[in-house]
Amino acid sequence: MTTPVSAPPPFPPLTPSALDFTAGGDLRLASAAVEAPPALPLAEAVRDGLISAADAELTGYRSVTVAEETSSLYDLAAGAAVSAVGRAPVPAAALGTVLFANVFPQPRPPLHNLATAVAEAVSAPAVFAAEISGGCVAGLNALVIAAQRMLATRERAALVVAGDLWSRPHIDRFNCEQGYVFADGAAAVVLARDAGFARLLSAATLTDPLLSGLHAEVPSDRTPVDITARARAFLTTRMGTEVVIGRLRSGLTATIGAALSRAGAGLADVAHVLVPAIGAPFLKRNYLDALDIPVSRTTWDYAAVTGHVGAADPFGALAHLVDHDRCRSGDLVLLVSEGLGFQWTVVLLKVL
C-alpha cells in the first residue's frame, strides 16, 4: 500500500527554454567518438557475486564497460577527445571552446581542471575551457553551451567531452539502484561551423526543482551511494509515486515538444531517439511508454552492451549510429538526457 503523501506546495508553472540554432548560422556536429573500456559480461558479474542474478536480469544488459584499476578519468576523456578531433574535418587549432562533463566526483584528483588537460591533449588553444556537472544531463548541457558560445563569439569549432569512472570504494556500480548498472567510459563530439555530418537544429531544457529531493542523500548501510533509499525516502515523505511519474513524463514530453516545435517537426518525423542507457525497466517506463515509440527507434542495442555511462550516453549512442552507418541523409536524430535536479535537455540534429 502506498503511503499517503501531502500534495507539493504551489510552484510557478514550468516552461521549457528552447533554442533555434539555425537562426544564427550553420552549426554542425563534425565528429563523434567513444573511448570504451572492455565490456564485462553480467553473467561473470553474477558469478563473482557483484550483483544478484535477479538484479542482473532486470537490467536487460548483457554487459557493462569496466575500466582497469590503473585507468584514470583523464585517460578515458583524453582518448575520446583525441579520436573525435582526429575524425573532425576541422583542425585542433580551430577549437575555441573545450568543455568536460562529468557526473561522479570520485575518483579524480582534486583541484584539477580536466577540461584544460583535455585541451592540452588535443593541442587546442581553447580560450574557454571549463567543467560542467549536474548529473547525466551535463553532456548535452555542455553541447548547448558550446553552441551558444560559437554563435556569440564566431569561434570556428568546439570540443565537448563527457566521461565517468564508477569505482569502489567510492561507489558500488552494481547496487546503487535496481534496474541499471553504471559503466565506465567517455565520449566526445566536435561542433564546427559549416563542416560536419549533421546540422544542429534546436535544443530545449527544463528543470523541475520540486523533484530536487529525489536524489538527496539519506543514511544507508546497504551500499556507499544508495539511490534506491534516496528515492524511497522522497516518495514516502515528500511526493507520491504517481505524482512523481506524472511530473517526469510531463517534463520529458514538454522538453521534447519544445525542441521539435522550434524545428517545425514532430516526434513521428524523428528517425532515431537516443535516450539514456538506464536499463530495461526505466527504458520502458520513462521513454518507450511515455513517448509511445518502439525500441527499434532507440539505440538500446548499444546500451545493452555498455551500461549507463552517465553524461556520455548521448554522445556514445551518436557515435554508435555513425560508426555502424545507421544515419541517412535527411534523418532527424533526437538526443535526450535527464539529470539530477530534476532536469531534461534534448538536442535535435539533421543528418546531411
Exposed / middle / buried, residue 320 (Cβ in 10 Å: 0-12, 13-18, 19+): buried
| CA-based nearest residue to 77, from 120, 44, 42 | 120
pLDDT in tens, 222-246: 888 888 888 888 889 989 999 999 9
Give the CA angle between residues 34, 205, 314 to the nearest 5°: 15
Question: C-alpha cell of 80?
Answer: 575520446
| CA-based nearest residue to 184, from 195, 171, 201 | 171
Tens of pLDDT along the chain (352 residues) come to 455 666 666 777 889 999 999 988 899 999 999 999 999 999 999 999 999 999 999 999 999 999 999 999 999 999 999 999 999 999 999 999 999 999 998 777 788 899 999 999 999 999 999 999 989 999 999 999 999 999 999 899 999 999 999 998 899 999 999 999 999 999 999 999 989 999 999 999 999 999 998 888 888 888 888 888 888 888 899 899 999 999 999 999 999 999 999 999 999 999 999 999 999 999 999 999 999 999 999 999 999 999 999 999 999 999 999 999 999 999 999 999 999 889 999 999 999 9
Res 248: pLDDT = 92
- One-character DSSP codes across 240-306: -HHHHHHHHHHHHHHHHHHHHHHTT--GGGEEEEE-----HHHIIIIIIHHHT--GGGTTHHHHHHH
Res 110: pLDDT = 80
Q: What are phi and psi of 18, to 5 degrees?
A: -115, 150
Res 9: pLDDT = 66
pLDDT in tens, 58-81: 999 999 999 999 999 999 999 999
Q: How far apart are CA 179 and CA 182, in angstroms?
A: 10
Q: Look-up: residue for cell 569505482?
A: 167
Res 8: pLDDT = 60
Question: C-alpha cell of 39?
Answer: 565490456
The C-alpha R_g of the chain, in whole angstroms, comes to: 19
Question: C-alpha cell of 348?
Answer: 535535435
| CA-based nearest residue to 157, from 209, 211, 207, 194 | 194
Classify 158 as helix, strand or coil: strand
